[in-house]
Structure 1
Amino acid sequence: MKTILLIEDNELIRENTAEILELAGYDVTTAENGKLGVEQALAQRPDLVICDIMMPVLDGYGVLNIFNQNSQLAGVPFIFLTAKTERTDMRRGMELGADDYLTKPFDETELLSAVTGRLNRFRHLKPDYDLQAEGLNEFLEDAKQVANLESLSADRKVHLARKKQDIYVEGDEPARLYFVKSGRVKTVKTTGAGKELITGIYNPGEFFGYMALLEQTPYSDSAVAVDDSELVYIPKQDFLQLLTRNPEVGQHFIRLLAGRVSEREQQLLDMAYNSIRRRVADTLLRLHAQADLALPAIQLSREDMAAMIGTASESLIRTLSEFKQAGFIEVTPKSIRVLQPEKLRSAHW
Structure 2
Amino acid sequence: METILYIEDDPVLRENTREMLEFSNFKVLTAKNGKIGVDLALKHSPDIILCDIIMPVWDGYKVFQVLKENRLTYRIPFIFVSAKVDKEDIRSGMNLGADDYLTKPFEEEELISTIQSRLEKYSKLQENYSFPLKNSAIAPVNNLSDLKDYIELNGEYYDFKRKSIIYREDENANYIYLLEDGIVKNYKMDEYGKELITGLYKKGDLLGFYSFGSSSLYAETSTALEDGMAYRILSLEFRKLLKLNPGLTLELADLFSENLTNLRKHLLDTAYGSVLKKTTYTILQFAENIQETPEDSIKISRSDLASVAGISTESLIRSLSQLKKDNLIDIEGRNIKILDLKKLHTIR
TM normalised by structure 2 equals 0.54
Matches within 5 A, 1:194-273: 194-211=193-210, 216-256=215-255, 258-273=257-272
Matches within 5 A, 1:1-349: 129=145, 136-137=148-149, 140=150, 155-211=154-210, 216-256=215-255, 258-289=257-288, 290-292=290-292, 296-347=296-347, 349=348
Q: Please state whether the residue corresponding to 2:172 is helix, strand or coil.
A: coil
Q: Please state whether the residue corresponding to 1:346 is helix, strand or coil.
A: coil
Question: What code does the residue aligned with 1:210 have?
Answer: F
Could you say if the C-alpha distance between residues 294 and 314 of structure 1 is closer, same or farther in structure 2, counting changes exceeding 3 Å? closer
Question: What code does the residue aligned with 1:318 have?
Answer: R
Partner of 1:62: none
CA contact (8 A) 1:189 1:197 kept: yes
Q: Please state whether the residue corresponding to 1:173 is helix, strand or coil.
A: coil
Could you say if the C-alpha distance between residues 175 and 295 of structure 1 is closer, same or farther in structure 2, counting changes exceeding 3 Å? farther
| Deviation string, structure 1 residues 193-242 (Cα, Å, up to 9, x no partner) | 22233322210011112236778542232212222211111211122233
Q: Please state whether the residue corresponding to 1:187 is helix, strand or coil.
A: strand
Q: Please state whether the residue corresponding to 1:315 is helix, strand or coil.
A: helix
| Deviation string, structure 1 residues 236-287 (Cα, Å, up to 9, x no partner) | 1122233344322211333455543332222112212222222221221121
1:181 Cα deviation from its structure 2 partner: 0.9
1:334 Cα deviation from its structure 2 partner: 1.3
CA contact (8 A) 1:182 1:229 kept: yes
Could you say if the C-alpha distance between residues 215 and 260 of structure 1 is closer, same or farther in structure 2, counting changes exceeding 3 Å? farther
Question: What code does the residue aligned with 1:170 have?
Answer: E
CA distance in 2, matches of 1:192, 1:204: 32
Question: What code does the residue aligned with 1:331 have?
Answer: I
CA distance in 2, matches of 1:124, 1:221: 30
CA distance in 2, matches of 1:216, 1:250: 16
CA contact (8 A) 1:288 1:298 kept: yes
| Deviation string, structure 1 residues 76-116 (Cα, Å, up to 9, x no partner) | xxxxxxxxxxxxxxxxxxxxxxxxxxxxxxxxxxxxxxx96
Question: What code does the residue aligned with 2:248 have?
Answer: V
Could you say if the C-alpha distance between residues 250 and 127 of structure 1 is closer, same or farther in structure 2, counting changes exceeding 3 Å? closer
Q: Please state whether the residue corresponding to 2:240 is helix, strand or coil.
A: helix
Partner of 1:46: none
Question: What code does the residue aligned with 2:306 have?
Answer: A
CA contact (8 A) 2:183 2:228 kept: yes
Could you say if the C-alpha distance between residues 263 and 291 of structure 1 is closer, same or farther in structure 2, counting changes exceeding 3 Å? same
CA distance in 2, matches of 1:168, 1:343: 37
Q: Please state whether the residue corresponding to 1:303 is helix, strand or coil.
A: helix
1:126 Cα deviation from its structure 2 partner: 7.6
Larger Rg: 1
CA distance in 1, matches of 2:272, 2:213: 28
TM normalised by structure 1 equals 0.53
Q: Please state whether the residue corresponding to 1:292 is helix, strand or coil.
A: coil
| Deviation string, structure 1 residues 161-216 (Cα, Å, up to 9, x no partner) | 12222111222111111110111112233332222333222100111122367785
* RMSD (Å), alpha carbons: 3.3
Could you say if the C-alpha distance between residues 213 and 249 of structure 1 is closer, same or farther in structure 2, counting changes exceeding 3 Å? closer
CA distance in 1, matches of 2:287, 2:171: 32
Q: Please state whether the residue corresponding to 1:343 is helix, strand or coil.
A: helix
Question: What code does the residue aligned with 1:303 have?
Answer: S
Q: Please state whether the residue corresponding to 2:154 is helix, strand or coil.
A: coil
CA distance in 2, matches of 1:320, 1:229: 27
CA contact (8 A) 2:165 2:223 kept: yes
Q: Please state whether the residue corresponding to 2:210 is helix, strand or coil.
A: helix
Identity of aligned residues (%): 26
Could you say if the C-alpha distance between residues 194 and 248 of structure 1 is closer, same or farther in structure 2, counting changes exceeding 3 Å? closer
CA distance in 1, matches of 2:245, 2:214: 20
CA contact (8 A) 1:198 1:304 kept: no
CA distance in 2, matches of 1:329, 1:241: 47
Structure 1 range deviating more: 218-227 or 326-335: 218-227
CA distance in 2, matches of 1:215, 1:193: 31
CA distance in 1, matches of 2:339, 2:326: 11
Question: What code does the residue aligned with 2:302 have?
Answer: R
Question: What code does the residue aligned with 1:239 have?
Answer: F
Q: Please state whether the residue corresponding to 2:345 is helix, strand or coil.
A: helix
Q: Which runs of 5+ in 1 are unaligned?
A: 1-24, 26-114, 142-152
Q: Please state whether the residue corresponding to 1:337 is helix, strand or coil.
A: strand
Partner of 1:14: none
Structure 1 range deviating more: 252-261 or 324-333: 252-261
Could you say if the C-alpha distance between residues 214 and 222 of structure 1 is closer, same or farther in structure 2, counting changes exceeding 3 Å? farther
